Structure 1
Amino acid sequence: MRVLHTADWHLGKTLEGRSRMPEQIAFFEELEVIIRDEKIDVLLMAGDVFDSVNPPASAEELFYESIANFSEKYNIPIIIIAGNHDHPDRLQAARKMAKCQGIYILGYPGIEPVKISVKEEVLQLGALPYPSESRMQAVFSSSMEEQSLQSAYNKKVKHLFQQLTQSFKKENVCMAMSHVFAAGGASSDSERPIEVGGAYTVSPSSLPGNVQYTALGHLHRPQNIHGSDGLTRYSGSPIAFSFSESGYSKSVTIIDIKAQKTPYIKEIPLSCGKPLVKWDARHGLEEVYRWINEKRDDNAWIELDLHITETPSMEEIHHIRKSHEGIIHIHPVFPDMQNNITLEKRKEFPINELFKKFYERQTGGAQADEKLVRLFMELAEGGE
């Protein structure tokens, strides 16, 4: 059985107001070529189909038309779960109609696995959409203490996977899929934080041990997670969404898998997304103009650090942007500028602690209670 694992499409996402739709259309065209040429039997999508709970109509149209095309042309089962950016109800609204076409869309965490026949084999899949308190209508822990929260979250996720996989039989192909932050994974700036100061981080030991492969979504860099019993992997996003992903290749993952056998993993690189490039113009405007005339990174999104001694005029800024439409950010760098150490240290604080400090400063010393902090975290994690 040949399975394709992908995730984190974030359809509808923009880059500082610039549309990424042409790149996302190119992704689906490239994905179809891979499905056809690699003779894919099953397509797994591990969450974050859309970038927001209210995506633009063009993004929804691209999604539904593309998966319908894959199903009709190649007659393959497609299993899709909701990520933290997706609206579970909206995503799975057409689930009954889609299921008739072999397309399984799961919005909310449950305990019923997906079981489908593929050629002469059976695939059992423990699919767990993004498991938040709000989506499960449950409070994992009454305490706001980080260690208690993490322990409760791990326990809940582990229990859900146990229920999802308890009926699995060794003579079948056994897999799992979820949209979570697994400990040991390397993130980038483009992922929305889903962990409460680390409390929503899942230990690899909480992932199912009785499966051959666990397909994960949420982290945008392709990577394996070590410490779990089976093979566990993030496929990564198909295109780069922030400049922190500059220089990282994008791909989808193909898994060749048989019952009771160790899967074989193959990474297929993608070329659909524009590169996100950082320019460091240490010789000022003259260097920038030279690069533009040379058509350097002509088909890329660019973040420019411009080393200068005097503030550039609006005319000069407009000229740069007009000369290269891919330039997103222009950061002037003056000789006397120092690294903002405070800002760097701020990144080390858990997001709930940053909120408490912000609330205290804005209210003149008032303390945010646990209910308010929990509400803020639900908003930050993308829950409803």
Structure 2
Amino acid sequence: MRLLHTADWHLGKTLEGRSRLPEQREFLEELNGIADEENVDAILMAGDVFDTVNPPAAAETLFYDAAVKLTSNGERPLIIISGNHDNPERLSASRPLANMNGITIIGFPTNQAVEVRVRNGQKLSIAALPYPSESRLNECLTESQEEGTLQLAYDDRVKKLFSDLSTGDEDSVQIAMSHIYVAGSRESDSERPIQVGGAYTVSANSLPEQAQYVALGHLHRPQTITRGSALARYSGSPLAYSFSEANQTKSVTLIDVEPNGIAHLNEVPLQSGKPLVRWIADKGIEQVYTWLEEGKDADAWIDLEIHLNDTLSIEEIHRLRSQHSGFIHIRPVFEKKEQQKEASYSSLPIDELFKRFYEQQTDGAEPDEELIQLFLELSENDE
């Protein structure tokens, strides 16, 4: 049996106000192509379909269209759980129609495993656990406010939930799927925390022993967690959603597995979406214009840091943005100059005092003559 694991689509998510829907549409088309080319039997989506509990209509339309295509007209099961960004009720509202198209959506944690048959007749049993917060579990795990006590209670509860869900027979491929934070995993800035301190974390030892593979969602960096003879893995997000994810290779995961056998993984890199890159122009703004003329990172989102002696005017910022639509941040960094020691600041002329003050407030920028003259005029009027 061949499975495809993906997660953390975050449909509708923007980057500092820039829409990512065209990139997300491109990814979903690529995902469908991978599923067809690799002859995938079922697709596992481990949470965070949307970026907010109230996603824009365009994001919902994209999801519904893509979900139907991914099932290949109902022949390829698609199993989806809610993540901490999703509204579980809203996500699963279309369940009656979804079931008719081979789509299984689980919004809230339940005590029933998902049992499906794939095209070759083999059975797939999935211990599917959507994001298990206390509110979604509708229970208080402990009355203690101590973080360590809450962490142990949460870990025990998740372990028990997995145990109750792992009930497949020996003829089934045994898979678990959840949207949780496994202690020791590596995070990115774009992941909204799902734990209070370290309270909402789960030990790798609490993942179900019966599962041949555990499909995880929440962390955006693809990574594998070895747990005895079985494997657990975060497939990661399909796009880089913050500059902390710059230079990360985004991917989905293929799993080849038979009943009672060892799962074999294959990471499939994704080509869709714009890269997020950081530019550090330590030689000033002319270096930036040189890069623009060379066509550097022409189709990328850019975090720009410019080392300057003087302030960057609004006109200059507009000029930069007009030459490349991908600039997200433009941050001037002013070179700090060694201050000359003075016997007394009171002996300095007022314009020199203003220059010193301006440099301190702007972390090293120098005021131009027009600004200095304006300050002197205001000072004279005030007198």
TM-score (norm 1): 0.86
- Contact 2:223 2:235 (C-alpha < 8 Å) held by counterparts: yes
Matched residue pairs, number?
336
Match of 2:122 in 1: 121
Q: Which consecutive residues of structure 1, in runs of 5 or more, have no partner in the other structure?
A: 338-384
User: Residue 195 of structure 2: SS of its match in structure 1?
Assistant: coil
**CA shift at 1:210, angstroms?**
0.8
Cα separation, 2, equivalents of 1:183 and 1:336: 41
Cα separation, 2, equivalents of 1:282 and 1:101: 55
Write out aligned runs for 1:1-384 (5 A). 1-73=1-73, 75-118=75-118, 119-165=120-166, 167-227=167-227, 230-336=230-336
Higher RCO (CA 8 Å, separation ≥ 6 residues): 1
**CA shift at 1:73, angstroms?**
3.8
**CA shift at 1:310, angstroms?**
1.3
Cα separation, 1, equivalents of 2:140 and 2:221: 31
Cα separation, 2, equivalents of 1:213 and 1:2: 12
Match of 1:364 in 2: none
Cα separation, 1, equivalents of 2:174 and 2:199: 28
**CA shift at 1:263, angstroms?**
1.0
1:267 corresponds to which letter in structure 2?
A: E
Cα separation, 1, equivalents of 2:193 and 2:144: 20
Cα separation, 2, equivalents of 1:173 and 1:60: 31
Cα separation, 2, equivalents of 1:148 and 1:164: 25
1:162 corresponds to which letter in structure 2?
A: S
**CA shift at 1:102, angstroms?**
1.5
Bigger radius of gyration among the two: 2
Cα separation, 1, equivalents of 2:93 and 2:163: 27
Q: Which moved more, 1:287-296 or 1:5-14?
A: 287-296
Q: Which moved more, 1:295-304 or 1:96-105?
A: 96-105
2:141 corresponds to which letter in structure 1?
A: F
Cα separation, 2, equivalents of 1:175 and 1:72: 22
User: Residue 123 of structure 1: SS of its match in structure 2?
Assistant: strand
**CA shift at 1:170, angstroms?**
2.3
User: Residue 98 of structure 2: SS of its match in structure 1?
Assistant: helix
Deviations 1:243-284 (A, max 9, x none): 000011000000011011111101111011100000000011
- Contact 2:5 2:253 (C-alpha < 8 Å) held by counterparts: yes
- Contact 1:205 1:228 (C-alpha < 8 Å) held by counterparts: no
**CA shift at 1:178, angstroms?**
0.2
Cα separation, 1, equivalents of 2:67 and 2:124: 20
User: Residue 80 of structure 2: SS of its match in structure 1?
Assistant: strand
**CA shift at 1:229, angstroms?**
5.4
Cα separation, 2, equivalents of 1:194 and 1:66: 27
2:45 corresponds to which letter in structure 1?
A: M
**CA shift at 1:184, angstroms?**
1.8
Cα separation, partners in 2 of 1:52 and 1:267, compared to 1, 3 Å: same
2:146 corresponds to which letter in structure 1?
A: E
Deviations 1:89-143 (A, max 9, x none): 0000011221122110000011100011122311110000000011111111211
Cα separation, 2, equivalents of 1:103 and 1:233: 22
Question: How much identity, in percent, do the aligned residues show?
Answer: 54
User: Residue 226 of structure 1: SS of its match in structure 2?
Assistant: strand
**CA shift at 1:59, angstroms?**
0.3
User: Residue 224 of structure 1: SS of its match in structure 2?
Assistant: strand
Cα separation, 1, equivalents of 2:35 and 2:316: 47
- Contact 1:274 1:300 (C-alpha < 8 Å) held by counterparts: yes
Tell me how large the CA RMSD over aligned residues is.
1.2
Cα separation, 1, equivalents of 2:183 and 2:126: 22
**CA shift at 1:145, angstroms?**
1.0
2:178 corresponds to which letter in structure 1?
A: S
- Contact 1:184 1:226 (C-alpha < 8 Å) held by counterparts: no
Cα separation, 1, equivalents of 2:274 and 2:298: 10
Cα separation, 2, equivalents of 1:134 and 1:115: 26
**CA shift at 1:226, angstroms?**
3.0
**CA shift at 1:228, angstroms?**
5.5
Cα separation, 2, equivalents of 1:37 and 1:275: 25
- Contact 1:184 1:225 (C-alpha < 8 Å) held by counterparts: no
User: Residue 238 of structure 1: SS of its match in structure 2?
Assistant: coil
Cα separation, 1, equivalents of 2:180 and 2:193: 11
Match of 1:346 in 2: none
Displaced runs of 4 or more, over 6 A:
none
Q: Which moved more, 1:66-75 or 1:178-187?
A: 66-75
Cα separation, partners in 2 of 1:32 and 1:233, compared to 1, 3 Å: same
Q: Which moved more, 1:91-100 or 1:232-241?
A: 91-100
Cα separation, 2, equivalents of 1:25 and 1:303: 24
User: Residue 191 of structure 2: SS of its match in structure 1?
Assistant: coil
Deviations 1:309-348 (A, max 9, x none): 11111111111111111010011111229xxxxxxxxxxx
Q: Which consecutive residues of structure 2, in runs of 5 or more, have no partner in the other structure?
A: 338-383
2:83 corresponds to which letter in structure 1?
A: G
